[in-house]
């Protein structure tokens, strides 16, 4: 995201430069040269993620609007890194909202500085809460913690010393059977195995793995919340709205792509139904609404929750539409593997399919309408 702050090129971490400007500068200087390699999956940008942490990108959770603006600034250059930024920010979001003082004392500082990297394995739980699939992790209480087993098919921003937040269900036959527990999983645990995924359409440089838990011990100071459901209700709007940062950055770059080819192709591109100005207007609307809702991420009214879901749905759809328009404006030059227009299109589909995916968001809205005419469901 561009800001009106005066530029001082030599002072990346200077106090008088806004967080967003610092993140934006770092993204332009460090991500631009490697965005193609990240897209191809030959680089997982660990050092850039740590540098972004040092610049404050993972420590702005007192005001989620700053966090989102930071993710958008990264997303203007690289959608995959914007997704990793979201992963890292969810990890911090879970930790700062946890009521477990031992967990916070152990992890808050390292996660928000980027010394500890990681993400979130909430796709399966989020789908299970809305009746789409069963919870894949099961756990039982033991002295000093829990023992967890099961597997998650995709978790991103991982590596051998990374951590991520996820949820298991207490096994049948145990005390509190059926309860959900949210915890931090440690990839360094010998009973936690990471298996690389098959190549994706995009996002291959995002450190995405299948994760298997073979009776992994989770000590009490890695428990984010037990029971998990009130906690999930508290963090869910922030979890979803931070994803809008991915959309805002991507759409902004799609507008730039369209404007970039205007001098040479205006005479024919003006016949296309969607022009950059259309997306500038749409972007401004999405951004204004995101910032309005992100000002109060713990609001509990149903009306607020519906607005969050609806906005996230529109952000995914607008990403795909903007990237599609950018492709059509570029024509053959955007069809080159070296051009970022086609990368943007592939990244845009990810915004629309990462949990909560377009289809899940539509189901959530439909369920919510039905429930609020009577009944209850969801976390
Ligand atoms: C690049 C990438 C990164 C991701 N990173 C994360 C992450 O960090 N954290 C996280 O929690 N989730 C992650 N996911 C999962 C993602 O958020 C979605 O849950 C996933 O894309 C499926 O969503 P869906 O709505 O299409 O699910 P659905 O349509 O409901 O179907 C998904 C289910 O179908 C089955 N399935 C279908 N195809 C396959 C396949 N090829 N291999 C295995 N199972 C299959 C699985 O049971 C899966 O749960 C990632 C996915 C991708 C592609």
Q: What pLDDT was estimated at residue 379?
A: 72
- Atom 30 in ligand 1: residue holding the nearest Cα: 132
Ligand 1 surroundings by CB, under 6 angstroms: 87, 119-123, 127, 132-133, 153-156, 200, 203, 208, 353-355, 357, 360
User: Do the Cβ atoms of 272 and 109 come closer than 8 Å?
Assistant: no
pLDDT tens digit sequence for 209-263: 999 999 999 999 999 999 999 999 999 999 999 999 999 999 999 999 999 999 9
Q: Which atom of ligand 1 is nearest to the CA of 122?
A: 11
* 9 — pLDDT class (breaks 50, 70, 90): very low
User: Do the Cβ atoms of 2 and 24 come closer than 8 Å?
Assistant: yes
User: Do the Cβ atoms of 13 and 22 come closer than 8 Å?
Assistant: yes
Q: What pLDDT was estimated at residue 375?
A: 53
As given in the structure block, the two tokens for residue 326 are 């950018």
The average confidence (pLDDT) of the chain is 94
Q: What pLDDT was estimated at residue 376?
A: 55
Q: What pLDDT was estimated at residue 243?
A: 98
pLDDT tens digit sequence for 13-50: 456 789 999 999 999 999 999 999 999 999 999 999 99
How many Å lie between the centroid of ligand 1 and the Cα of residue 127?
10
> What three-state secondary structure class fits 255?
helix
- Atom 36 in ligand 1: residue holding the nearest Cα: 153
Q: What pLDDT was estimated at residue 6?
A: 27
As given in the structure block, the two tokens for residue 117 are 């990297």
pLDDT tens digit sequence for 150-195: 999 999 999 999 999 999 999 988 888 899 999 999 999 999 999 9
For the beta carbon of residue 137, count every other beta carbon within 10 angstroms.
23
Separation between Cα atoms, residue 378 and residue 371, nearest integer Å: 10
Q: Which atom of ligand 1 is nearest to the CA of 120?
A: 9
* Domains observed in the chain: 19-113 (1.10.540.10), 119-225 (2.40.110.10), 229-371 (1.20.140.10)
Pocket test residue of 355, 356, 358, 360 for ligand 1, highest count of atoms within 8 A of CB: 355
> What's the whole-number mean pLDDT along residues 318-325?
98
> Which of 141, 157, 177, 14 minimizes the C-alpha distance to 74?
157
SS (H, E, C) 166-189: EEEEECCCCCCCCCEEEEEEECCC
Q: Which atom of ligand 1 is nearest to the CA of 125?
A: 11
- Residue 3, pLDDT > 90, answer no
* 80 — pLDDT class (breaks 50, 70, 90): very high
Separation between Cα atoms, residue 311 and residue 313, nearest integer Å: 5
Pocket test residue of 156, 316, 346 for ligand 1, highest count of atoms within 8 A of CB: 156
User: Do the Cβ atoms of 70 and 245 come closer than 8 Å?
Assistant: yes
373 vs 254 pLDDT, higher one: 254
pTM, 2 dp = 0.94
């Amino acid at each position: 995201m561009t800001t009106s702050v005066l530029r001082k090129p030599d002072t990346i971490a200077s106090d008088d430069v806004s967080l967003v400007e610092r993140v934006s500068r770092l993204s332009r200087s460090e991500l631009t040269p490697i965005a193609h390699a990240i897209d191809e999956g030959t680089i997982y940008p660990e050092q850039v993620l740590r540098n972004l942490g040092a610049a404050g990108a993972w420590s702005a959770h007192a005001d989620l609007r700053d966090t989102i603006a930071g993710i958008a600034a990264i997303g203007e250059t690289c959608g995959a890194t914007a997704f990793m930024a979201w992963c890292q920010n969810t990890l911090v979001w879970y930790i700062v909202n946890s009521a477990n003082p031992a967990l916070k004392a152990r992890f808050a500082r390292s996660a928000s500085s980027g010394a500890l990297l990681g993400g979130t394995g909430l796709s399966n739980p989020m789908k299970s809460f809305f009746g789409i699939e069963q919870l894949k992790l099961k756990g039982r209480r033991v002295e000093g913690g829990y023992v967890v087993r099961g597997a998650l098919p995709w978790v991103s921003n991982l590596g051998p010393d990374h951590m991520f937040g996820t949820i298991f269900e207490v096994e049948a036959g145990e005390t509190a059977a059926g309860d959900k527990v949210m915890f931090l999983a440690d990839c360094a645990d010998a009973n936690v195995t990471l298996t690389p995924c098959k190549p994706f359409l995009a996002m291959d440089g995002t450190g995405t793995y299948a994760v298997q838990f073979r009776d992994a011990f989770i000590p009490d100071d890695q428990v984010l919340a037990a029971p998990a459901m009130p906690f999930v209700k508290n963090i869910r709007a922030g979890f979803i709205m931070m994803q809008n940062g991915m959309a805002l950055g991507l759409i902004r770059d799609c507008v730039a792509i369209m404007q970039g080819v205007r001098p040479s192709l205006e005479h024919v591109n003006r016949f296309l139904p969607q022009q950059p100005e259309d997306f500038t207007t749409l972007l401004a609307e999405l951004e204004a609404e995101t910032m309005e809702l992100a000002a109060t991420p713990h609001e509990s009214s149903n009306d607020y929750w519906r607005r969050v879901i609806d906005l996230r749905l529109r952000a995914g759809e607008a990403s795909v539409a903007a990237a599609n328009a950018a492709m059509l404006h570029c024509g053959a030059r955007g069809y080159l593997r070296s051009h970022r227009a086609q990368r943007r299109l592939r990244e845009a589909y990810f915004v629309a399919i990462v949990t909560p995916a377009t289809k899940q968001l539509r189901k959530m809205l439909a369920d919510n309408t039905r429930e609020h005419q009577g009944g209850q469901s969801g976390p």
